Amino acid sequence: MGQPAREAARAVKQHRFGEPEHTGAPAPATLVARTVRVGIADDHPITRSALRSYLEEQEGIRVVAEACSGREAIDLVRTQALDVLLLDLDMPGQSGIDALTMIRAKAEHVAVLILSGYPEHQYAVPLIRNGASGYLNKACEPTEIVSAIRRVSQGARYITPAVAELLATQVMTPSPGGLHEQLSARELQVFLKLAQGCSAGQVAAELSLSAKTVSTYRARLMRKLEARSNSDLTYYALKHRLLD
């Protein structure tokens, strides 16, 4: 068979079977997608179990470890090979807010995605500024958690429309009255609990802090927010729509 005839036969075979004739040349290498290794830090076993079950149904995602406190979350990123850590904020002992700073210092290669029951307007901006790769409210759709995990695992940040609006508002319309924007994430946490009417003792118990530490935070908040009483803190929080 001459060269033209062989080429014609090869073309017919490709048309009929949908694939080129094997010519002896090595096949191109198949690209294998990297599996995203995820850790879950949340003090509620049901939440961890539900997240694990859902995420392990997703292609290319594997849950490799769990933690139920901020301290365990810090140990987890030091001992496990992780790409993304889902981190809750309210946990016993060391909170997710405290853990974030330590995690960024000890394992900066791990993307930290905050998954919290608190609405975005309370904590999203200060936590993203402190190194979080994204912030999601637990009321979000499960598919959004997957999308966020895939994005932050690639080194990008995941910014929801709500968070984007908060960031844009702070950039475009800086307000001299927005004194809370200078607070650290922990100061903001103490401030909001005091503004909600919690006593110093209640705040200490809920955040696993000493009463002396809460008193120190309260004095600092009074100075930074130019307040004289807890009622002033509540008024400020309501005025700036920081309370639900």
pLDDT digits (tens, 9 = 90+) for 127-154: 898 889 999 999 999 999 999 999 999 9
Q: Which domain holds residue 52?
A: 36-168
Which residues, other chains included, contact 206 with Cβ-Cβ below 8 Å and sequence gap of 6+?
90, 193, 198
User: For residue 21, is it within any domain?
Assistant: no
Residue 139 is part of a domain; what is its CATH number?
Answer: 3.40.50.2300
| Kind plus residue range of the DSSP H or E element containing 126 | helix 120-129
User: For residue 75, is it within any domain?
Assistant: yes
**What is the distance between the terminal CA atoms of the chain, rounded to a whole angstrom?**
82
68 and 53: one domain? yes
User: For residue 29, is it within any domain?
Assistant: no
Residues 62-102: tens digit of each pLDDT: 999 999 998 999 999 999 999 999 999 888 777 888 888 88
85 and 155: one domain? yes
pTM passes above 0.75: no
152 and 188: one domain? no
Domain tally, the chain: 2
Residues of the chain with pLDDT under 50: 3-5, 7-32, 177
Residue 200 is part of a domain; what is its CATH number?
Answer: 1.10.10.10
47 and 134: one domain? yes
Cβ atoms 183, 194 nearer than 8 A: no
Which residues of the chain form beta strands (DSSP E)?
A: 36-41, 61-67, 84-87, 111-116, 134-137
